[in-house]
Amino acid sequence: MNSFKHNNKSRVFARSLLALSISSSLYGGVAIAAEEQMVEEVVVTGIRASVQRAMDVKRNAAGVVDAISAEDMGKFPDTNLAESLQRITGVSISRSNGEGSQITVRGFGGSNNMVTLNGRTLPSGGSTAAYGGGTIGRAFDFGNLASESVKAVEVYKTGKASVATGGIGATVNIITNKPIETDGLVGTVGGKLVNDSTNERGDDITPELSGLVSFANDDQTLGVSLSASHQVRDSGQSGLTENNWNIRQWVTPGQPGSLSTLNSAEIINPPEVGQLYALPNDLRYHFVDNHRERNNAQLTLQFKPTEKLLGTLDYTYAENQIEEARGDKTVWLQGNITKIVFDKNPDVAGPLSLEQAWNFPKDNSYAQTSGNVTNTLKSLGVNLEFEATDRLTLMVDAHDSELEGGPEEAYGSAVRSGMAVAIGSYTTFDFSKKLPQVTNLINDSVKGNSNGIADIGDVSSTVFDFTYARQKMDVSQVKFDAKYEFDSFILEGGVETRNMQSAQQQSSWQKQGGGNSVAFPMDIPDELIENYNYVGGFDDFNTAGYQTDGFRADAVKLAEWGAATYGAKAAVPWGVAYNPNFSTNTIIEEETAAAYVQFGFESELFSRPVNLLAGVRYETTDVASSNSMLVPTEVTWTDNNDFLLVRSTTPTMYAQKSDYDNLLPSVDFDIALTSEIKARASYSTTISRAGYGNLTSGATISATGGLNQPTGLGGQPVASSQNPALLPLESDNFDVSVEYYFDDASYVSIGFFEKHVENFIGSEQVYENHFGLLDATAGPRAQQAAAALQAINQPVTEDSLFVMTAILDNPQDFPNGAADFKTPAQDPTFWGSVATKYDISPEAGDPELLYLTTKPINNKEAKINGVELAAQHFFGESGFGIQGNYTIVNGDIGYNNASPTNITQFALTGLSDTANLVLMYENEVLQARVAYNWRDAYLAGYTSSNPTYVEDYAQIDMNVSYEVTDNITLSFEGLNLTGEDSRAHGRTELLVWNIYDLGPRYQLGARYDF
């Protein structure tokens, strides 16, 4: 570059600097093309060429930028973009069903990273098939996009005035192929056979087809490209989950405030008085069968009638269809503890094992769920670049994009068909094992077939649940940018408007079958049920001695049987369908206007070349949130600790508006200390907006009325409300790094970063009544029932209190009042029959339910800092190469595992060290790559009661390709070769949340280039 005259030097510099500084904000492909032309890079294929191009992006960028480049057209390194991004320093991923889903950058999760497609903001959210769930978050799910049409992915870790806001962690720009850069007609067609070793019920081999064709005329004034892909994947999952860990302070058994169920229990290693201890709600094993079909397509048209004007029109389509079948074997812990062995953890004493006995057979659940969702992304965009003069370039870019996720089936998003066997008489939980174990003694003489074993003849129906969730997000964005090149510096500015609308509809519906307490034993026809071993899929665990009895069924067929059998008895419309009266209908509108200016120049400092890029961005945002909801009218007490929230039949609207603005400066400086060593320093202020779920209006109460225990026995109703007036997180970012480029594809680097973040979203908890709801469990009737039990020397438990209250509430059926009460020893079926027949509704005179309501507020600050180490080297002409990186991330606020649950906590989530190591080899016909990825344990989320720590995880992937001819290539890929599993726990490692037994995935492919 020093060989140019001064004017040319500054002009070339301007193009070089701006190429990377605006590739996210304007149109990625154009900028990358300009950068490649500037350095006169010869595009070659292969692993070495792709990592060299990525290194060039890093080296020539203004600020801290990392990139991944395709080896050739239609040949991105991984079939999943998230799994490619995890190779980048400081980037880690979360997985869904063993596949990369969302990214975390420098400790900030998916909702705090901006994802753009060719510089355009992508809609986020969508739905999941699991339990019919949905999300209106800001995190983009990379599982929706195939990689065949992706040319490169850039990760911008420092902010720039020209880049749209939204990413404190990073802005990730996905760059697709541009046809006008093609020489004539070229294309590629490929196919893969995919085998997921976790699959149980689907096809063992599923197809993946892709193709890309690109054409440009001889003058390269007209270009057109079309890419398409189709993928089918069948997979399975065996897992263990815990519904909740109840964290309490230890009180001497028998004293006020102690658990009544422990008064006569054998307690080994009891906690100290006042120490925290944990009891589980349940233990459940589950299976999941997944079926996914993903279809992607992209059409791009480019027209360059003169050297001064380039127009691009593109359309992107991505459809992801997911079907899920799930079964849960659940054993509940509901008191009657006879023995418990605690560990000696000083923070929270956890149960190594515990045992419970029943005076009458207790239900064990086998709920079966069928879920489905289709997420569809559509994006139409146009870009015009006009070189008005030799110095002035104008660009306008506009797009309209939408992402919609919802069900295709008549039953809605999910139907859960309840099955149970009321035959448990004594249960043992063992949490000391690698895979916790639950063992039941069987008594099927009361509500079973009396053969002494758990079999199909004992299975009964309970309730049928239907859920519906649909999300739709629309983004329209228009940007205008201008760039003027002076002799010694460049000046750039622009304006932008971005409008987003997010809508979410939800409903839930519960229809009675055999009842919560198995009112109609053994009612399901045997032909609808099959035997199933729920621990049989845990290949990586020793399950010798575990009970193998279990049952599964088709949830839809079971619901159809339930509709035919119990529909006429129900007081609600019946049928296998969701409730069309939405309990939640939320719309959030966000309008953003922005303007920016930035300049850059090249000079010398101490006779060394330096670059400076500085700018400022101003944004103003208006938020409008509305929620049309079915208002809760009653919390019905249906059984011991079972409650049902009743809603109105007509919706009520809640609405709120807010606004805010931000001034965001940025400075990037670099100096070439030698021809091989570059040092950088950057400062920027960036923001990340609150998740859409935090911006809704109106209070939220669960389907159980926010209760899981009578308030008279210590139960605390809980609710949540959101806050449309939340401000965005604002971070002051500091980066310093040094990079040593010692060969054409080799470098080492070290970088330090620190982020000072304000407006973190914490929470406050206040006691509030919502919607005038009353409490039947603490009113005069419940108090009278408790006194009556004490008068006959019966313990006041959840079961006995409900039964006695129901007796006193129905004098027409129990004329003798409390004298009609029977203990399980007197009549084992009495309590169950009362629970099935009677519900207790609140009435005048009952107290108001005071909900402990959690609300998000901007009340926290935190600092995050870290170190990034990276290296890349190819060993001469041997064909061997190596890549490696290690990231250390630290935060100044963590979760206090020993803190009581009544103290509101704030902690930084997602912080973890990460490491990658990639070994590469290639010659003229063979390419091979082995990649090791590791992420340390991290805090994924938390409440005041419980944190969720995801334990450290490492995975080894590999791929090999062989060029049979110049046009035909065969390939083989293996993901998670060692079948690593995942595990998450609560306050201590003993308090397991989930365990997932994962397995390898293999892909055999062929590719034809022309």
Residue 914 is predicted with a pLDDT of 92
227-280 confidence digits (pLDDT tens) = 999 999 999 999 999 999 999 999 887 776 666 555 578 899 999 999 999 999
E strand residue ranges, 245-350? 245-249, 266-268, 276-280, 282-306, 309-332, 337-342, 348-349
Residue 307 is predicted with a pLDDT of 92
Q: How far apart are alpha carbons 648 and 705 in whole angstroms?
A: 14
41-93 confidence digits (pLDDT tens) = 344 458 888 888 888 888 888 888 888 887 766 677 676 787 788 888 888 87
pLDDT at 364 over 90: no
Q: Which of 799, 714, 715, 794 minimizes the C-alpha distance to 363? A: 799
Q: CA neighbours within 13 Å on the CB side: how many for 404?
A: 8
Q: How far apart are alpha carbons 931 and 84 in whole angstroms?
A: 10
CA distances from 156 to 61, 89, 666, 713, 933 (A): 10, 12, 13, 54, 21
The two tokens of residue 261 are 């169920």
pTM comes to 0.84
Q: How confident is the model at residue 600 (pLDDT cuts 50, 70, 90)?
A: very high
Residue 263 is predicted with a pLDDT of 55
Residue 363 is predicted with a pLDDT of 82
pLDDT at 127 over 70: no
450-500 confidence digits (pLDDT tens) = 998 999 999 999 989 899 999 999 999 999 999 999 988 999 999 999 999
412-441 confidence digits (pLDDT tens) = 999 999 999 988 889 999 999 999 999 999
Report which secondary-structure segment, H or E, holds 200. Answer: none
Q: Which of 691, 631, 874, 814 minimizes the C-alpha distance to 48? A: 874
3 state SS of 917: strand
Residue 21 is predicted with a pLDDT of 42
937-958 confidence digits (pLDDT tens) = 999 988 878 999 999 999 999 9
Residue 122 is predicted with a pLDDT of 85
Q: Mean pLDDT, to the nearest integer, of 551-567?
A: 92
Which of residues 15 and 127 earns the better pLDDT score?
A: 127
pLDDT over 90 percentage in the chain: 62
pLDDT at 20 over 50: no
What is the SS3 string spanning 481-492? EEEEECCCEEEE
Residue 65 is predicted with a pLDDT of 87
Residue 48 is predicted with a pLDDT of 85
| Burial (CB count <10 Å: 0-12, 13-18, 19+), residue 498 | buried
Q: How confident is the model at residue 765 (pLDDT cuts 50, 70, 90)?
A: confident
Residue 399 is predicted with a pLDDT of 96
961-999 confidence digits (pLDDT tens) = 999 999 999 999 999 999 999 999 999 999 999 999 999
Residue 204 is predicted with a pLDDT of 95
Q: Give how far the C-alpha of residue 675 lies from the chain's centroid of Cα atoms, to the nearest Å.
A: 44
Q: How far apart are alpha carbons 522 and 447 in whole angstroms?
A: 7
Tokens 């604002």 appear where? 730
Residue 746 is predicted with a pLDDT of 94
Q: How far apart are alpha carbons 840 and 879 in whole angstroms?
A: 76
Q: Which of 451, 419, 453, 454 minimizes the C-alpha distance to 524? A: 419
| Burial (CB count <10 Å: 0-12, 13-18, 19+), residue 616 | middle
637-656 confidence digits (pLDDT tens) = 999 889 999 999 888 888 99
- Number of other residues whose CB lies within 10 A of the CB of residue 643: 24
Q: Mean pLDDT, to the nearest integer, of 824-851?
A: 92
Residue 259 is predicted with a pLDDT of 63
Q: Which of 621, 631, 652, 629 minimizes the C-alpha distance to 724? A: 621
First to last CA, the chain: 37
Residue 71 is predicted with a pLDDT of 72
Q: How far apart are alpha carbons 107 and 109 in whole angstroms?
A: 6
Contact 69, 29 (CB under 8 A): no
Q: Mean pLDDT, to the nearest integer, of 275-300?
A: 94
E strand residue ranges, 431-527? 437-442, 460-485, 489-512
Which region among 257-266, 511-520, 761-770 has the lowest average model confidence (pLDDT)? 257-266
Q: How confident is the model at residue 571 (pLDDT cuts 50, 70, 90)?
A: low
Mean of all residue pLDDT scores within the chain: 88
| Burial (CB count <10 Å: 0-12, 13-18, 19+), residue 19 | buried
Q: Mean pLDDT, to the nearest integer, of 914-940?
A: 93
Task: Classify each residue of 870-900 as buried b or exposed e, where b means 16 or more C-beta atoms within 10 Å of its C-beta.
Answer: bbbbbeeeebebebbbbbbbebebebebebe
pLDDT at 844 over 60: yes
Residue 31 is predicted with a pLDDT of 36
Q: Which of 319, 375, 316 minimizes the C-alpha distance to 175? A: 316
Give just the sign of the alpha carbon dihedral 445, 451, 457, 463: positive
pLDDT at 899 over 60: yes
Residue 742 is predicted with a pLDDT of 94
For 321-356, give the DSSP string.
Answer: EEEEEEEEEEEE--S-EEEEEE---SSEE-EEEEEE
Q: Mean pLDDT, to the nearest integer, of 202-229?
A: 94
CA distances from 195 to 76, 234, 366, 981, 1008 (A): 20, 8, 29, 18, 22
Q: How far apart are alpha carbons 508 and 584 in whole angstroms?
A: 10
3 state SS of 59: helix
Q: Which of 998, 1004, 952 minimizes the C-alpha distance to 976? A: 998
Give just the sign of the alpha carbon dihedral 94, 99, 101, 103: positive
Q: What is the CA radius of gyration of the chain?
A: 31
DSSP letter at 241 equals E
pLDDT over 70 percentage in the chain: 92
Residue 256 is predicted with a pLDDT of 65
